[in-house]
Amino acid sequence: MSEQKPVRHILSLSGGKDSTALAIYMRDRVENMEYIFHDTGKELPDTLDYIEKLEAYLGQRVVRTTTRESFDDVLRTKGGMLPSGKRRWCTELLKLKPFEMYIGDEPCVNYVGIRADEDRVGYISHKPNIKPVFPFRDDGIDYAGVVRILEDAGLGLPPYTEWGRTRSGCFFCFYQQKIEWVRLKQHHPELFEEAKAYEKPNRVNGKVFNWTDESLETIEAPERMAQIEDNWERAKERRRARQHKRPLVAVLGGLEIEESPRDGCMICQL
């Protein structure tokens, strides 16, 4: 009779608030949890600091599953074609592949930080030996609950939220909003420059790929930055006005509306 392999328990961190809160929540609930983080080498320094703080809280190392092939290596094999929503090779090669390689073929329970107030499933590995579970959804933990867990543990929200970035993942992630590019320019000008340097004619056909629908050179022009900030303020006002119309039960229940739009890939941003 073949020996049954023990089931591994794995929690994959993105450096975002939900997976971090889940790590805190599960710390005393599951023995032998393995915490992993897929570092693309292009993460924000703020994210790396946050992961280190979490390690201190957990009293356990978070395993970095970084692949030998860097973002720049893969980009070369793609002829300089930057990833985009339609060509999302980065998620597959720099996040999902290392995740599946780390797990191998052993049976594993994978803990995913989708919250109770989120209406999505969206798990992206389909390997049969990986069983996803959703403790926050099962235990009714919503956005306000996640914020509470992070505050009680002394970590608070990820540090990049202080300067207005809403997502973890690579500093040049093409999912970021225009306002986040402006904030990157203001708070990490060196990273903005690094991102801008990728927008150059590629070796194969001289075509220029941009991270967004306009070049970063256009975005950084002072008048364009001011316009983006102005549009953002107006949108915020409209959101605030909508919030005032929320039912009293939601206000009393502490239900908060998350500012971050949830597009993007879960493995990078949960």
Q: Give the footprint of ligand SF4 on this chain (CB under 6 A).
A: 40, 83, 88, 90-91, 94-95, 169-170, 173, 175, 265, 268
Closer Cβ to ligand SF4, 158 or 169, answer by number: 169
Pairing of strands 108-111, 130-133: parallel
- CA-to-CA distance for 58 and 153, rounded, in angstroms? 10
Cβ atoms within 10 A of the Cβ of 113, count?
27
CB of 112 to ligand SF4, least distance (A): 16
In terms of Cβ atoms closer than 10 Å to its own Cβ (0-12, 13-18, 19+), residue 207 is exposed
- CA-to-CA distance for 144 and 52, rounded, in angstroms? 24
CB of 120 to ligand SF4, least distance (A): 16
Closer Cβ to ligand SF4, 149 or 195, answer by number: 195
CB of 262 to ligand SF4, least distance (A): 13
Q: Closest CB to ligand SF4 belongs to which residue?
A: 169
Residue 200 phi/psi, 5-degree rounding, is -135, 160
Per the document, the length of the chain is 270
Amino acid code (one letter) for 110: N
CB of 167 to ligand SF4, least distance (A): 8
Closer Cβ to ligand SF4, 150 or 195, answer by number: 195
Closer Cβ to ligand SF4, 111 or 211, answer by number: 211
